[in-house]
Chain A
Amino acid sequence: MPLREGEAIVLRTYRLGEADKIVSLFTRPFGRLRAAAAGAQRARTRYGGTLEPLSYIRVWFYERENRDLVRINSTELVESFFDMQKDYRMQVAAQYVAEVAERFFPERQANDRAFRLLLGVLRAMKRSGELGAPLLYFDYWLLRLEGFLPDLTRCAACGRVLDDGGYYGPASEGLCCADCRTPTTPRAVAASALELAESARGVTPEQWLGTSKPAAVCAAARRFLEDLIEAHAEKKLITRELLDAGV
């Protein structure tokens, strides 16, 4: 039973019995894992605050054959996002990132670009105290990395440039223009929102946050991308409802 080691982001934890926790981790070298942390609920736990949601940690764990759960041996904190989540709005936004990551990233499949995306977005939120622009960046790149992002510039049906925005529906594969619009594509997204979303391509989260973005356009772009995320997740996201409620 070899001891494995790697960087990880804690996505969420569940109570297990009286003193233990099950931890959902997104590790850099092994992908998403579920781990048991013995005694993690105790006041004097050896893990301290390292297993709090969204902590960026280094983890050492044992893995047994034919067991779904790995066993955490020890952890070390690399970067904490604890204080950022004291604000309820930020907590909801951070947990939205965790919920989407749990839904989209399959277990035991390493994805370094996704790991860097998660970390980059959390750092952007922590530094800026903003949530709209970092979440838009996250939504755009998540869909892009997972191969679900449609062409935001041309109609999927006729290929026309979407100068006046586009239309989409819950089951549509891409955007269509006003001429190709059908009853299955009832929702509209403005050209300015598509342009803003597309501007996340080829820039780091820091560069992205360096320019100001109109809040209404940012919200419209997020609404469109998050509709796509929910459609591909095939499930309503709990945290999205809270974000939409304007917490």
Chain B
Amino acid sequence: MSDFAEPLARLIDELKRLPGIGQKSAQRIAFHLLRDSPEVAKRLAAAIIDAKEKIRLCSLCNNFTERDPCRICSDSARDHSVVCIVETPYNALSVERTHEFRGLYHVLHGALSPLQGIGPEQLKLKNLMERLKNGDVKELIIATNPTVEGEATAIYISKLLKPLGIRVTRIATGVPVGSELEFADEVTMLKAIEGRREL
């Protein structure tokens, strides 16, 4: 039998399903919500429902959006000849925070991961190919994570796009800014050497 009253136990169980929330955090959030005024809980519930109902995937880039096409895809001031391919919507946000990239995005919603059963069919590649058909895109920047899964995805996409003759580039990998070389492992250092540039 649960230590908590049934509605409270149910709330904790639901909170525990969220990423990064364990039993203790779920209990803390649940008790916080109970202590707070009913309006706070209602606002939170309404915000979750509202987001779930109104947010969908952009038919062009697969990013989360309220309107289709999304704000970025429909912005005529942006460079529509460059598309940056990322694994997740928050990866797009990381690139966007640089304020340097003025092109468009394409979100794959994953990376090739055989052990998780994610193959090419599970990635959002179909509408990428359709996007490239009209010939407006001149460069694709592959910004998948520098992990085994991200690298395999990058190589897979570059092979897929080779026949189209579009320039395909990969974001640089190597030593992070602010770190010391003596702490870099061999793989990271090798990537940094491979990706060196002329000064």
Contact = CB atoms under 8 A, between A and B. Distances in A.
B183 interface: yes
Interface stretch (A90-98, A125-133, A190-198, A214-222): A90-98
Interface in A16-56: 17-18, 43-44, 46-50, 52-55
Contacts of A86: 151-152, 154-155
A49 B187 CA distance: 6
B188 interface: yes
A91 B191 CA distance: 19
Q: Which of A15, A47, A80 has the most CB of B within 10 A?
A: A80
B188 A49 contact: yes
Contacts of A239: 114-115
Given A80-B187, A87-B155, A239-B115, A17 B179 contact: no
A87 B152 contact: yes
B150 to A, nearest CB: 10
Interface string B115-151: 1110110000000000000000000000000111101
Interface of B: 19-20, 112-117, 119-120, 146-149, 151-152, 154-156, 176, 178-179, 183-188, 191
19 contacts: A12-B115, A15-B19, A18-B20, A44-B176, A44-B179, A48-B183, A48-B188, A49-B146, A49-B186, A76-B185, A77-B186, A77-B187, A86-B151, A86-B154, A86-B155, A95-B115, A98-B115, A238-B116, A242-B119
Q: A-B pairs with the 9 shortest C-beta distances?
A: A48-B185, A49-B187, A95-B114, A92-B114, A91-B152, A17-B20, A239-B114, A48-B188, A85-B148
